[in-house]
Structure 1
Amino acid sequence: MFEYDKIEPVFPGNHVKDWQKIRKKQWKFVKNIIEESPHTSLLTMISDIKKEYYLLESPNLNAPFSEWAQSDISNEFHPFQWQGPLWLNLMLCSDQSEEAWANIWQHCVEYGCGFEGSRNMFIKYNTYIGQSEESLAFGIFGGLEQRMLPYFVQSEVYTDDKFALGRAECRKIPWKTPQETFRQIFFRMSKLTADDGCMSPFRPYQWLHGLLVSTFSYDLLTDEELELSATFSCQDVKNVLRDNADELYHPNNIKANRLMIEILEDEGTPQWLRKIWADVRDGKLSV
Protein backbone atom coordinates (compact mmCIF):
# COMPACT_ATOMS: atom_id res chain seq x y z
CA MET A 1 0.00 0.00 0.00
CA PHE A 2 2.84 2.37 0.88
CA GLU A 3 6.44 2.17 -0.30
CA TYR A 4 9.33 3.35 1.84
CA ASP A 5 12.99 4.05 1.25
CA LYS A 6 15.28 1.32 2.50
CA ILE A 7 16.97 2.45 5.69
CA GLU A 8 20.66 1.64 6.09
CA PRO A 9 21.37 0.75 9.73
CA VAL A 10 24.17 2.41 11.65
CA PHE A 11 24.75 -0.88 13.47
CA PRO A 12 27.03 -2.97 11.21
CA GLY A 13 26.96 -6.67 10.49
CA ASN A 14 29.99 -8.78 9.64
CA HIS A 15 29.60 -7.91 5.94
CA VAL A 16 30.77 -4.35 6.68
CA LYS A 17 34.47 -3.49 6.70
CA ASP A 18 35.88 -3.02 10.23
CA TRP A 19 32.50 -4.02 11.70
CA GLN A 20 34.03 -5.21 15.00
CA LYS A 21 35.80 -1.87 15.56
CA ILE A 22 32.55 0.00 14.94
CA ARG A 23 30.59 -2.32 17.22
CA LYS A 24 33.12 -1.89 20.02
CA LYS A 25 32.54 1.88 19.87
CA GLN A 26 28.77 1.35 19.90
CA TRP A 27 28.80 -1.10 22.81
CA LYS A 28 27.89 1.63 25.31
CA PHE A 29 24.55 2.11 23.57
CA VAL A 30 23.86 -1.63 23.40
CA LYS A 31 24.77 -2.05 27.06
CA ASN A 32 22.38 0.75 28.03
CA ILE A 33 19.57 -0.86 26.01
CA ILE A 34 20.09 -4.20 27.75
CA GLU A 35 20.18 -2.51 31.16
CA GLU A 36 16.98 -0.57 30.41
CA SER A 37 15.09 -3.61 29.11
CA PRO A 38 12.73 -5.59 31.38
CA HIS A 39 14.81 -8.75 30.89
CA THR A 40 16.70 -8.49 34.17
CA SER A 41 18.13 -12.00 33.76
CA LEU A 42 20.41 -10.60 31.06
CA LEU A 43 22.18 -8.21 33.41
CA THR A 44 24.53 -10.88 34.79
CA MET A 45 25.37 -12.02 31.25
CA ILE A 46 26.31 -8.70 29.67
CA SER A 47 30.04 -9.38 29.49
CA ASP A 48 29.44 -12.85 27.99
CA ILE A 49 26.97 -11.45 25.47
CA LYS A 50 29.57 -8.95 24.30
CA LYS A 51 32.42 -11.43 23.97
CA GLU A 52 30.67 -14.60 22.83
CA TYR A 53 27.94 -13.25 20.56
CA TYR A 54 28.06 -9.50 19.91
CA LEU A 55 31.61 -9.63 18.53
CA LEU A 56 31.55 -13.23 17.28
CA GLU A 57 32.52 -13.49 13.62
CA SER A 58 30.18 -16.28 12.51
CA PRO A 59 27.56 -17.67 14.93
CA ASN A 60 26.54 -21.20 13.96
CA LEU A 61 22.83 -20.53 13.60
CA ASN A 62 22.18 -23.90 11.97
CA ALA A 63 23.19 -25.92 15.02
CA PRO A 64 20.29 -28.04 16.36
CA PHE A 65 18.67 -26.67 19.49
CA SER A 66 19.76 -29.71 21.50
CA GLU A 67 23.40 -28.88 20.81
CA TRP A 68 22.95 -25.35 22.13
CA ALA A 69 21.08 -26.62 25.16
CA GLN A 70 23.94 -28.98 26.01
CA SER A 71 26.82 -26.73 25.04
CA ASP A 72 29.43 -25.31 27.34
CA ILE A 73 28.80 -21.57 27.62
CA SER A 74 32.51 -20.81 27.28
CA ASN A 75 32.65 -22.68 23.97
CA GLU A 76 29.30 -22.06 22.30
CA PHE A 77 27.39 -19.01 23.46
CA HIS A 78 24.23 -18.22 21.57
CA PRO A 79 20.80 -16.65 22.16
CA PHE A 80 19.17 -20.04 21.59
CA GLN A 81 20.96 -21.00 24.76
CA TRP A 82 20.49 -17.90 26.87
CA GLN A 83 16.88 -17.41 25.78
CA GLY A 84 17.39 -13.81 24.83
CA PRO A 85 14.36 -11.84 23.60
CA LEU A 86 13.82 -11.88 19.84
CA TRP A 87 14.67 -8.19 19.31
CA LEU A 88 18.04 -8.71 21.02
CA ASN A 89 18.78 -11.96 19.18
CA LEU A 90 18.25 -10.21 15.85
CA MET A 91 19.95 -6.99 16.79
CA LEU A 92 23.17 -8.47 18.18
CA CYS A 93 23.73 -11.18 15.58
CA SER A 94 26.84 -10.33 13.58
CA ASP A 95 25.35 -12.14 10.59
CA GLN A 96 22.65 -9.80 9.26
CA SER A 97 21.80 -11.94 6.23
CA GLU A 98 18.21 -12.92 5.49
CA GLU A 99 19.16 -16.57 6.05
CA ALA A 100 20.58 -15.91 9.51
CA TRP A 101 17.53 -13.93 10.62
CA ALA A 102 15.23 -16.59 9.19
CA ASN A 103 17.02 -19.21 11.28
CA ILE A 104 16.60 -17.14 14.44
CA TRP A 105 12.90 -16.65 13.67
CA GLN A 106 12.37 -20.34 12.90
CA HIS A 107 13.82 -21.25 16.26
CA CYS A 108 11.46 -18.76 17.87
CA VAL A 109 8.50 -20.36 16.05
CA GLU A 110 9.46 -23.89 17.08
CA TYR A 111 10.55 -23.35 20.67
CA GLY A 112 9.14 -19.98 21.72
CA CYS A 113 11.11 -16.86 22.57
CA GLY A 114 9.03 -14.71 24.89
CA PHE A 115 7.56 -13.15 21.78
CA GLU A 116 4.91 -10.95 23.39
CA GLY A 117 7.37 -9.41 25.82
CA SER A 118 9.85 -8.90 23.01
CA ARG A 119 7.20 -7.25 20.85
CA ASN A 120 6.16 -4.98 23.71
CA MET A 121 9.75 -3.89 24.07
CA PHE A 122 10.08 -3.24 20.35
CA ILE A 123 6.80 -1.71 19.25
CA LYS A 124 5.00 -0.39 22.33
CA TYR A 125 7.68 0.97 24.60
CA ASN A 126 10.87 2.96 24.48
CA THR A 127 14.17 2.04 25.98
CA TYR A 128 17.34 4.05 26.49
CA ILE A 129 18.16 6.82 24.10
CA GLY A 130 20.46 9.61 25.17
CA GLN A 131 20.33 13.21 24.04
CA SER A 132 23.70 13.32 22.33
CA GLU A 133 23.83 13.46 18.53
CA GLU A 134 25.73 10.18 18.54
CA SER A 135 23.03 8.45 20.58
CA LEU A 136 20.22 9.89 18.48
CA ALA A 137 21.97 8.72 15.32
CA PHE A 138 22.23 5.20 16.74
CA GLY A 139 18.53 5.15 17.59
CA ILE A 140 17.16 2.47 19.90
CA PHE A 141 17.97 -0.67 17.92
CA GLY A 142 20.79 0.61 15.75
CA GLY A 143 18.65 1.37 12.72
CA LEU A 144 17.59 -2.27 12.35
CA GLU A 145 14.01 -1.38 13.27
CA GLN A 146 12.81 -1.40 9.68
CA ARG A 147 14.07 -4.95 9.17
CA MET A 148 12.70 -6.12 12.52
CA LEU A 149 9.24 -4.62 12.04
CA PRO A 150 7.72 -7.44 9.89
CA TYR A 151 8.49 -9.94 12.65
CA PHE A 152 6.51 -7.97 15.22
CA VAL A 153 3.74 -6.54 13.02
CA GLN A 154 2.89 -9.30 10.58
CA SER A 155 0.13 -7.63 8.61
CA GLU A 156 0.01 -4.38 6.65
CA VAL A 157 -3.73 -4.01 7.38
CA TYR A 158 -5.79 -4.45 10.51
CA THR A 159 -6.66 -8.08 11.24
CA ASP A 160 -7.63 -10.31 14.15
CA ASP A 161 -5.75 -13.24 12.61
CA LYS A 162 -3.20 -15.16 14.65
CA PHE A 163 -0.17 -17.31 13.89
CA ALA A 164 1.31 -20.32 15.66
CA LEU A 165 4.34 -19.75 17.87
CA GLY A 166 5.51 -22.87 19.66
CA ARG A 167 2.46 -24.12 21.55
CA ALA A 168 0.88 -20.70 21.64
CA GLU A 169 -0.94 -18.45 19.20
CA CYS A 170 -0.12 -14.77 18.82
CA ARG A 171 -1.93 -11.95 17.08
CA LYS A 172 -0.37 -10.79 13.83
CA ILE A 173 -0.59 -7.20 15.06
CA PRO A 174 0.02 -6.01 18.63
CA TRP A 175 -3.28 -4.20 19.18
CA LYS A 176 -6.61 -5.92 19.79
CA THR A 177 -9.05 -3.44 18.21
CA PRO A 178 -9.07 -1.04 15.26
CA GLN A 179 -9.63 1.80 17.73
CA GLU A 180 -6.51 0.99 19.74
CA THR A 181 -4.51 0.40 16.56
CA PHE A 182 -5.45 3.84 15.26
CA ARG A 183 -4.69 5.57 18.55
CA GLN A 184 -1.30 3.97 19.05
CA ILE A 185 -0.03 4.54 15.52
CA PHE A 186 -1.43 8.04 15.00
CA PHE A 187 -0.43 9.46 18.36
CA ARG A 188 3.05 7.94 18.32
CA MET A 189 3.82 8.71 14.69
CA SER A 190 2.86 12.35 15.21
CA LYS A 191 5.56 12.58 17.89
CA LEU A 192 8.19 12.15 15.20
CA THR A 193 7.98 15.92 14.71
CA ALA A 194 7.13 16.98 18.25
CA ASP A 195 8.53 20.24 19.62
CA ASP A 196 11.44 18.61 21.47
CA GLY A 197 12.89 17.25 18.19
CA CYS A 198 14.71 14.40 19.99
CA MET A 199 12.95 11.42 18.45
CA SER A 200 14.79 8.36 17.17
CA PRO A 201 15.19 8.50 13.38
CA PHE A 202 14.33 4.80 13.27
CA ARG A 203 11.14 4.77 15.34
CA PRO A 204 9.13 1.88 13.80
CA TYR A 205 5.82 3.78 13.68
CA GLN A 206 7.07 5.67 10.63
CA TRP A 207 6.45 2.56 8.48
CA LEU A 208 2.88 1.86 9.59
CA HIS A 209 0.84 4.26 7.46
CA GLY A 210 -0.92 1.39 5.71
CA LEU A 211 -2.00 -0.21 8.97
CA LEU A 212 -3.24 3.17 10.18
CA VAL A 213 -5.30 3.78 7.04
CA SER A 214 -6.82 0.29 7.23
CA THR A 215 -8.51 1.24 10.52
CA PHE A 216 -10.54 3.93 8.72
CA SER A 217 -12.87 1.27 7.31
CA TYR A 218 -14.00 0.51 10.86
CA ASP A 219 -16.25 2.64 13.04
CA LEU A 220 -13.74 4.67 15.02
CA LEU A 221 -15.78 5.95 17.94
CA THR A 222 -14.96 9.53 18.85
CA ASP A 223 -15.33 11.27 22.16
CA GLU A 224 -14.02 14.45 23.71
CA GLU A 225 -10.83 12.77 24.94
CA LEU A 226 -10.01 11.26 21.54
CA GLU A 227 -10.63 14.53 19.71
CA LEU A 228 -8.47 16.42 22.20
CA SER A 229 -5.64 13.90 21.79
CA ALA A 230 -6.02 14.09 18.01
CA THR A 231 -5.72 17.87 18.20
CA PHE A 232 -2.42 17.60 20.07
CA SER A 233 -1.20 15.07 17.52
CA CYS A 234 -2.21 17.24 14.56
CA GLN A 235 -0.23 20.10 16.07
CA ASP A 236 2.83 17.85 16.24
CA VAL A 237 2.30 16.82 12.62
CA LYS A 238 1.92 20.48 11.60
CA ASN A 239 5.48 21.14 12.81
CA VAL A 240 6.73 19.42 9.66
CA LEU A 241 5.45 22.45 7.72
CA ARG A 242 7.77 24.85 9.54
CA ASP A 243 10.27 26.69 7.38
CA ASN A 244 13.11 25.32 9.51
CA ALA A 245 11.75 21.75 9.76
CA ASP A 246 14.84 20.41 7.98
CA GLU A 247 16.98 21.81 10.79
CA LEU A 248 14.77 20.47 13.59
CA TYR A 249 13.94 16.93 12.52
CA HIS A 250 15.57 13.92 10.96
CA PRO A 251 14.77 13.36 7.24
CA ASN A 252 13.16 9.99 8.06
CA ASN A 253 10.73 11.63 10.46
CA ILE A 254 9.97 14.48 8.08
CA LYS A 255 9.06 12.03 5.31
CA ALA A 256 6.78 10.08 7.64
CA ASN A 257 4.72 13.07 8.74
CA ARG A 258 4.57 14.67 5.31
CA LEU A 259 2.98 11.43 4.21
CA MET A 260 0.72 11.67 7.26
CA ILE A 261 -0.48 15.07 6.01
CA GLU A 262 -1.44 13.50 2.69
CA ILE A 263 -3.51 10.97 4.61
CA LEU A 264 -5.14 13.64 6.80
CA GLU A 265 -6.23 15.55 3.70
CA ASP A 266 -7.50 12.50 1.81
CA GLU A 267 -11.24 12.05 1.36
CA GLY A 268 -11.01 8.49 2.64
CA THR A 269 -9.97 9.72 6.08
CA PRO A 270 -12.79 10.03 8.66
CA GLN A 271 -14.45 13.43 8.39
CA TRP A 272 -14.01 14.31 12.06
CA LEU A 273 -10.23 13.76 11.79
CA ARG A 274 -9.95 15.72 8.54
CA LYS A 275 -11.78 18.63 10.16
CA ILE A 276 -9.49 18.66 13.21
CA TRP A 277 -6.45 18.64 10.95
CA ALA A 278 -7.81 21.40 8.71
CA ASP A 279 -8.61 23.59 11.72
CA VAL A 280 -5.17 23.02 13.26
CA ARG A 281 -3.41 23.56 9.93
CA ASP A 282 -5.28 26.83 9.32
CA GLY A 283 -4.74 28.12 12.87
CA LYS A 284 -8.41 27.89 13.84
CA LEU A 285 -7.84 25.32 16.59
CA SER A 286 -5.08 24.92 19.16
CA VAL A 287 -4.61 23.58 22.68
Structure 2
Amino acid sequence: MQRTVYAVLALVVLATALSGCTGVPGVEETEQFDRTVAVEPESSIVVINHNGNVAVTVREGNDVLITAVKRSVYGRGELDKVEIEVTEGDPLRVETVHTGFNPRVSVDYTISLPPTVVLQRVESSNGRIELSGVRVTETELLTSNGRVTVNGAPGGDLVATSSNGRIELSGVEGYVMATTSNAGITVEDCGGITGLATSNGAITAEIPAIRGDMTVSSSNAGITLRFAEDLNARVAATTSNGRITVHNLMLQLEESTGTSVSGTLGAGGPTVSVRTSNAGIDLFGP
Protein backbone atom coordinates (compact mmCIF):
# COMPACT_ATOMS: atom_id res chain seq x y z
CA MET A 1 0.00 0.00 0.00
CA GLN A 2 2.85 2.39 0.92
CA ARG A 3 4.53 1.76 -2.42
CA THR A 4 1.32 2.67 -4.24
CA VAL A 5 1.04 5.98 -2.35
CA TYR A 6 4.68 6.82 -3.06
CA ALA A 7 4.19 6.02 -6.72
CA VAL A 8 1.14 8.29 -6.99
CA LEU A 9 2.99 11.14 -5.26
CA ALA A 10 5.94 10.73 -7.59
CA LEU A 11 3.68 10.94 -10.62
CA VAL A 12 2.03 14.13 -9.29
CA VAL A 13 5.42 15.75 -8.68
CA LEU A 14 6.65 14.71 -12.12
CA ALA A 15 3.53 16.05 -13.83
CA THR A 16 3.90 19.37 -12.02
CA ALA A 17 7.57 19.67 -12.90
CA LEU A 18 6.95 18.92 -16.54
CA SER A 19 3.78 20.98 -16.90
CA GLY A 20 5.56 23.40 -19.24
CA CYS A 21 6.57 20.52 -21.50
CA THR A 22 3.48 18.33 -21.45
CA GLY A 23 0.86 20.95 -22.29
CA VAL A 24 -0.61 21.01 -18.79
CA PRO A 25 -1.20 24.64 -17.70
CA GLY A 26 0.53 25.81 -14.55
CA VAL A 27 1.32 29.07 -12.82
CA GLU A 28 1.41 32.07 -15.16
CA GLU A 29 4.90 33.27 -16.04
CA THR A 30 5.46 36.85 -17.22
CA GLU A 31 8.25 38.91 -18.73
CA GLN A 32 8.14 42.68 -19.32
CA PHE A 33 9.72 44.63 -22.15
CA ASP A 34 10.18 48.43 -21.97
CA ARG A 35 11.49 50.76 -24.65
CA THR A 36 11.51 54.52 -25.23
CA VAL A 37 11.94 55.74 -28.82
CA ALA A 38 12.44 59.35 -29.95
CA VAL A 39 10.34 60.14 -33.02
CA GLU A 40 9.85 63.05 -35.39
CA PRO A 41 6.63 65.11 -35.30
CA GLU A 42 3.99 63.97 -37.80
CA SER A 43 5.64 60.54 -38.13
CA SER A 44 3.63 57.32 -37.85
CA ILE A 45 3.62 53.98 -36.04
CA VAL A 46 2.50 50.42 -36.85
CA VAL A 47 1.82 47.76 -34.19
CA ILE A 48 1.63 44.07 -35.16
CA ASN A 49 0.71 41.59 -32.44
CA HIS A 50 -0.32 37.95 -32.81
CA ASN A 51 -2.12 37.04 -29.60
CA GLY A 52 -3.05 39.63 -27.00
CA ASN A 53 -4.28 43.13 -26.22
CA VAL A 54 -3.07 46.45 -27.57
CA ALA A 55 -3.80 49.75 -25.79
CA VAL A 56 -2.61 53.03 -27.32
CA THR A 57 -2.86 56.38 -25.57
CA VAL A 58 -1.49 59.89 -26.07
CA ARG A 59 1.17 61.67 -23.98
CA GLU A 60 3.10 64.93 -24.02
CA GLY A 61 6.69 64.93 -25.22
CA ASN A 62 8.59 63.66 -28.26
CA ASP A 63 9.08 60.01 -27.30
CA VAL A 64 7.04 56.86 -27.82
CA LEU A 65 6.82 54.70 -24.70
CA ILE A 66 6.42 50.98 -25.35
CA THR A 67 5.60 48.39 -22.71
CA ALA A 68 4.94 44.77 -23.63
CA VAL A 69 4.16 41.97 -21.17
CA LYS A 70 4.61 38.40 -22.36
CA ARG A 71 2.44 35.81 -20.58
CA SER A 72 2.32 32.01 -20.54
CA VAL A 73 1.02 29.28 -18.26
CA TYR A 74 3.18 26.67 -20.02
CA GLY A 75 6.54 27.52 -18.49
CA ARG A 76 9.22 30.17 -18.98
CA GLY A 77 10.57 28.31 -21.97
CA GLU A 78 7.52 29.42 -23.93
CA LEU A 79 8.34 33.08 -23.27
CA ASP A 80 11.68 32.59 -25.02
CA LYS A 81 9.83 31.71 -28.23
CA VAL A 82 8.58 35.28 -28.60
CA GLU A 83 10.54 38.51 -29.04
CA ILE A 84 9.45 42.14 -29.17
CA GLU A 85 11.01 43.78 -32.21
CA VAL A 86 11.15 47.58 -32.52
CA THR A 87 12.27 48.97 -35.89
CA GLU A 88 12.92 52.69 -35.85
CA GLY A 89 12.02 54.88 -38.81
CA ASP A 90 8.86 56.24 -40.32
CA PRO A 91 6.75 54.35 -39.67
CA LEU A 92 8.08 53.14 -36.35
CA ARG A 93 7.27 49.42 -36.30
CA VAL A 94 6.51 47.46 -33.14
CA GLU A 95 6.02 43.75 -33.72
CA THR A 96 5.65 40.46 -31.88
CA VAL A 97 8.03 38.01 -33.56
CA HIS A 98 7.79 34.24 -33.10
CA THR A 99 11.26 32.72 -32.81
CA GLY A 100 10.09 29.23 -31.82
CA PHE A 101 7.48 26.75 -33.03
CA ASN A 102 3.88 27.35 -31.97
CA PRO A 103 4.52 29.56 -28.91
CA ARG A 104 1.79 29.38 -26.29
CA VAL A 105 2.27 32.99 -25.33
CA SER A 106 0.14 36.11 -25.27
CA VAL A 107 1.58 39.62 -25.40
CA ASP A 108 -0.19 42.70 -24.03
CA TYR A 109 1.02 46.08 -25.28
CA THR A 110 0.62 49.51 -23.71
CA ILE A 111 1.94 52.26 -26.00
CA SER A 112 1.92 56.02 -25.43
CA LEU A 113 2.38 58.42 -28.36
CA PRO A 114 3.10 62.14 -28.70
CA PRO A 115 -0.04 63.98 -29.91
CA THR A 116 1.40 64.64 -33.39
CA VAL A 117 2.32 61.02 -34.12
CA VAL A 118 -0.18 59.17 -36.32
CA LEU A 119 -1.22 55.61 -35.51
CA GLN A 120 -1.22 53.95 -38.91
CA ARG A 121 -2.23 50.37 -38.10
CA VAL A 122 -2.84 47.96 -35.21
CA GLU A 123 -3.21 44.23 -35.84
CA SER A 124 -3.77 41.44 -33.32
CA SER A 125 -5.89 38.39 -32.50
CA ASN A 126 -7.54 36.96 -29.40
CA GLY A 127 -7.29 40.34 -27.77
CA ARG A 128 -8.86 43.75 -27.59
CA ILE A 129 -7.67 46.99 -29.18
CA GLU A 130 -8.16 50.25 -27.26
CA LEU A 131 -7.40 53.80 -28.45
CA SER A 132 -7.74 56.98 -26.42
CA GLY A 133 -6.96 60.41 -27.85
CA VAL A 134 -4.60 59.04 -30.50
CA ARG A 135 -4.19 60.77 -33.88
CA VAL A 136 -5.41 58.72 -36.85
CA THR A 137 -5.30 59.07 -40.65
CA GLU A 138 -6.70 56.23 -42.78
CA THR A 139 -5.94 54.05 -39.76
CA GLU A 140 -6.74 50.33 -39.65
CA LEU A 141 -7.56 48.41 -36.47
CA LEU A 142 -7.83 44.64 -36.97
CA THR A 143 -8.37 41.89 -34.42
CA SER A 144 -10.34 38.70 -33.87
CA ASN A 145 -12.10 37.42 -30.77
CA GLY A 146 -11.62 40.83 -29.21
CA ARG A 147 -13.32 44.17 -28.65
CA VAL A 148 -12.30 47.37 -30.45
CA THR A 149 -12.83 50.57 -28.46
CA VAL A 150 -11.93 54.09 -29.60
CA ASN A 151 -12.51 57.03 -27.28
CA GLY A 152 -11.35 60.15 -29.06
CA ALA A 153 -9.27 60.13 -32.26
CA PRO A 154 -8.37 63.45 -33.89
CA GLY A 155 -7.16 63.56 -37.47
CA GLY A 156 -8.70 61.53 -40.25
CA ASP A 157 -10.52 58.32 -41.10
CA LEU A 158 -10.53 54.98 -39.31
CA VAL A 159 -11.48 51.40 -40.19
CA ALA A 160 -12.18 48.89 -37.40
CA THR A 161 -12.49 45.17 -38.09
CA SER A 162 -13.07 42.32 -35.66
CA SER A 163 -14.87 39.02 -35.30
CA ASN A 164 -16.65 37.85 -32.18
CA GLY A 165 -15.86 41.22 -30.69
CA ARG A 166 -17.88 44.36 -30.07
CA ILE A 167 -16.85 47.64 -31.75
CA GLU A 168 -17.37 50.97 -29.99
CA LEU A 169 -16.24 54.15 -31.75
CA SER A 170 -16.57 57.60 -30.21
CA GLY A 171 -15.01 60.95 -31.00
CA VAL A 172 -13.32 59.99 -34.28
CA GLU A 173 -12.79 63.23 -36.20
CA GLY A 174 -12.93 61.61 -39.63
CA TYR A 175 -15.16 59.00 -41.26
CA VAL A 176 -15.43 55.50 -39.83
CA MET A 177 -16.14 51.99 -41.09
CA ALA A 178 -16.78 49.07 -38.73
CA THR A 179 -17.16 45.35 -39.47
CA THR A 180 -17.55 42.47 -37.01
CA SER A 181 -19.65 39.37 -36.34
CA ASN A 182 -21.55 37.91 -33.40
CA ALA A 183 -21.29 41.25 -31.62
CA GLY A 184 -22.71 44.75 -31.65
CA ILE A 185 -21.50 48.07 -33.05
CA THR A 186 -21.90 51.52 -31.48
CA VAL A 187 -20.82 54.74 -33.20
CA GLU A 188 -21.27 58.24 -31.80
CA ASP A 189 -19.78 61.71 -32.21
CA CYS A 190 -17.78 60.83 -35.34
CA GLY A 191 -17.22 62.87 -38.49
CA GLY A 192 -19.13 60.52 -40.76
CA ILE A 193 -19.80 56.89 -41.64
CA THR A 194 -18.86 54.87 -44.72
CA GLY A 195 -20.34 51.52 -43.63
CA LEU A 196 -21.31 49.32 -40.67
CA ALA A 197 -21.80 45.55 -40.79
CA THR A 198 -22.24 42.73 -38.30
CA SER A 199 -24.25 39.57 -37.70
CA ASN A 200 -26.10 38.50 -34.57
CA GLY A 201 -25.40 41.89 -33.05
CA ALA A 202 -27.26 45.17 -32.64
CA ILE A 203 -26.11 48.40 -34.30
CA THR A 204 -26.59 51.84 -32.75
CA ALA A 205 -25.13 54.78 -34.64
CA GLU A 206 -25.27 58.50 -35.26
CA ILE A 207 -24.96 59.43 -38.94
CA PRO A 208 -23.77 63.03 -39.28
CA ALA A 209 -22.43 62.72 -42.84
CA ILE A 210 -21.86 60.28 -45.71
CA ARG A 211 -19.58 60.41 -48.76
CA GLY A 212 -21.52 58.12 -51.07
CA ASP A 213 -23.84 55.13 -51.01
CA MET A 214 -23.30 53.18 -47.79
CA THR A 215 -24.83 50.20 -45.98
CA VAL A 216 -25.70 49.47 -42.37
CA SER A 217 -26.46 45.76 -42.01
CA SER A 218 -27.00 43.13 -39.35
CA SER A 219 -28.97 39.94 -38.84
CA ASN A 220 -31.04 38.67 -35.95
CA ALA A 221 -30.57 42.00 -34.15
CA GLY A 222 -32.02 45.48 -34.22
CA ILE A 223 -30.62 48.63 -35.82
CA THR A 224 -31.04 52.12 -34.35
CA LEU A 225 -29.87 55.11 -36.37
CA ARG A 226 -29.97 58.85 -35.66
CA PHE A 227 -29.58 61.13 -38.68
CA ALA A 228 -28.18 64.67 -38.62
CA GLU A 229 -30.64 67.48 -39.31
CA ASP A 230 -28.75 68.80 -42.35
CA LEU A 231 -28.06 65.41 -43.98
CA ASN A 232 -29.00 65.15 -47.66
CA ALA A 233 -29.52 61.48 -48.47
CA ARG A 234 -31.89 58.77 -49.55
CA VAL A 235 -32.80 56.12 -46.94
CA ALA A 236 -33.89 52.58 -47.85
CA ALA A 237 -34.59 50.28 -44.88
CA THR A 238 -35.73 46.64 -45.02
CA THR A 239 -36.22 43.83 -42.53
CA SER A 240 -38.00 40.53 -42.19
CA ASN A 241 -40.00 39.42 -39.16
CA GLY A 242 -39.58 42.88 -37.68
CA ARG A 243 -40.91 46.41 -37.95
CA ILE A 244 -39.42 49.70 -39.12
CA THR A 245 -40.32 52.77 -37.09
CA VAL A 246 -39.58 56.39 -37.97
CA HIS A 247 -39.22 58.77 -34.99
CA ASN A 248 -39.21 62.56 -35.49
CA LEU A 249 -37.35 62.21 -38.79
CA MET A 250 -38.24 64.53 -41.70
CA LEU A 251 -38.26 61.68 -44.19
CA GLN A 252 -40.13 62.33 -47.44
CA LEU A 253 -41.62 58.88 -47.88
CA GLU A 254 -41.48 56.93 -51.12
CA GLU A 255 -42.59 53.62 -49.63
CA SER A 256 -43.76 52.41 -46.21
CA THR A 257 -44.97 48.84 -45.68
CA GLY A 258 -43.94 48.12 -42.10
CA THR A 259 -41.05 45.93 -43.15
CA SER A 260 -39.78 48.27 -45.88
CA VAL A 261 -39.40 52.04 -45.71
CA SER A 262 -37.72 54.37 -48.20
CA GLY A 263 -37.59 58.13 -48.68
CA THR A 264 -35.37 61.19 -48.90
CA LEU A 265 -33.80 63.47 -46.33
CA GLY A 266 -33.33 67.12 -47.27
CA ALA A 267 -32.49 67.46 -50.95
CA GLY A 268 -31.72 63.76 -51.29
CA GLY A 269 -28.39 62.30 -52.27
CA PRO A 270 -26.44 59.05 -51.82
CA THR A 271 -28.40 56.09 -50.46
CA VAL A 272 -28.15 54.80 -46.90
CA SER A 273 -29.23 51.14 -47.11
CA VAL A 274 -30.33 49.68 -43.79
CA ARG A 275 -30.88 45.91 -43.60
CA THR A 276 -31.54 43.33 -40.91
CA SER A 277 -33.66 40.23 -40.31
CA ASN A 278 -35.73 38.92 -37.42
CA ALA A 279 -35.48 42.33 -35.72
CA GLY A 280 -36.67 45.90 -35.95
CA ILE A 281 -35.18 49.10 -37.32
CA ASP A 282 -35.62 52.48 -35.62
CA LEU A 283 -34.82 55.65 -37.56
CA PHE A 284 -34.51 58.86 -35.51
CA GLY A 285 -34.15 62.52 -36.35
CA PRO A 286 -31.78 64.86 -34.50
| Alignment TM-score, normalising by the size of structure 1 | 0.28
| Structure holding more strand per residue | 2
Name the larger-Rg structure: 2
| Structure holding more helix per residue | 1
| Alignment TM-score, normalising by the size of structure 2 | 0.28
| Structure with more contact order per residue of length (Cα contacts < 8 Å, sep ≥ 6) | 1
